Amino acid sequence: RPVIGVLALQGDVREHAVMLERAGARAVPVRRPAELSAVDGLVLPGGESTTMSRLLETFELLDPLRARIAEGMPAFGSCAGMILLARQALDGRPDQRQLDGLDIVVRRNAFGRQVDSFEEDLDFAGVEGGPLHAVFIRAPWVEKAGDGVEVLARTPGTPEAGAVGARIVAVRQGPVLATAFHPELTGDERVHRLFVRLVREA
């Protein structure tokens, strides 16, 4: 079984660990650089990205994590985790640090201007078995994605200016996966299975 860490500084760590185990991995919490060195991949949970970026610095994990991702370690970020993995976050605090694992620009709390939290059924590329129920909580969206980034899911609807339809909410670039929503909260482990597969292939 691949050993997959869950960054355990803040956020819904337990939920991710449960889903990873159900998807066939061994899940371990990561709080220290030595723990990071011991995992085959890492999940960055949802929470609050500014706080998590500060905690990453305090726990001396920011540089080692950035280095491991640059070396090709698989990573999966949900919500705040997606924000941390992006190369740039709009509407962030000036001191927010980025892990630069995905060539995407995200906008924080992007849907929140209209509605704080909502749920949608999404078509998710690479996930078999029908639409995926997605829970969005003060979620970001992907405002720009580079050429090397595969778009896996968008919100339903049309891309009218200022509207929330057709927004990019799941991406993959090589072994790095991110969702604007929380697959750890719905009891459906298909996205975690996809990530475990990426870890096995790496």
The 3-class secondary structure across 102-138, one letter per residue, is: EEEEEECCCHHHCCCEEEEEECCCCCCCCCEEEEEEC
**String marking each residue 110-149 x if it binds ligand GLN according to CB under 6 A:** ---------------------------xx-----------
Is 93 annotated as belonging to a binding site?
A: no
Integer Cα distance of 130 and 164 in angstroms? 22
From the CB of 25, what's the least distance to ligand GLN, in Å? 22
193 is in an annotated binding site: no
Enter the tokens of residue 44.
């960055």
Catalytic residue among 16, 79, 189, 192: 79
Which residues 6+ apart lie within 8 Å of 160 measured at CB? none
- Is residue 167 near ligand GLN by the rule CB under 6 A? no
Q: How far is the CB of 86 from ligand GLN (least distance, A)?
A: 11
**Nearest-approach distance from CB 91 to ligand GLN, in angstroms:** 8
Residue 108 annotated as binding site: yes
Task: Name which position in 13, 15, 39, 49 contacts ligand GLN (CB under 6 A).
Answer: 49
Least CB distance to ligand GLN at residue 109 (A) = 5
What are the structure tokens assigned to 6, written together?
């869950």
Q: CA-CA distance, 159 to 48, in Å (whole number)?
A: 27
Q: Which of 4, 80, 102, 134 binds ligand GLN (CB under 6 A)?
A: 80
Q: Is residue 83 at the binding interface for ligand GLN, with CB under 6 A as the rule? A: yes
Burial of 87 (0-12, 13-18, 19+ CB in 10 A): middle
| 15 in active site | no
Q: Does 79 bind ligand GLN (CB under 6 A)?
A: yes
Q: Is 79 a catalytic residue?
A: yes
Stated as kind and residue range, the H or E segment containing 88 is strand 86-90
Total residue count of the chain as it appears in this document: 202
Return phi, psi of residue 132, to 5°. Answer: -110, 130
Q: How many residues touch ligand GLN (CB under 6 A)? A: 11
Helix (H) or strand (E) holding 152: strand 150-154
Which residue ranges make up the annotated binding site for L-glutamine? 47-49, 108, 137-138
Tell me which residues are annotated as active site.
79, 182, 184
Please give the residue ranges that form the binding site for ligand GLN (CB under 6 A).
46-49, 79-80, 83, 108-109, 137-138
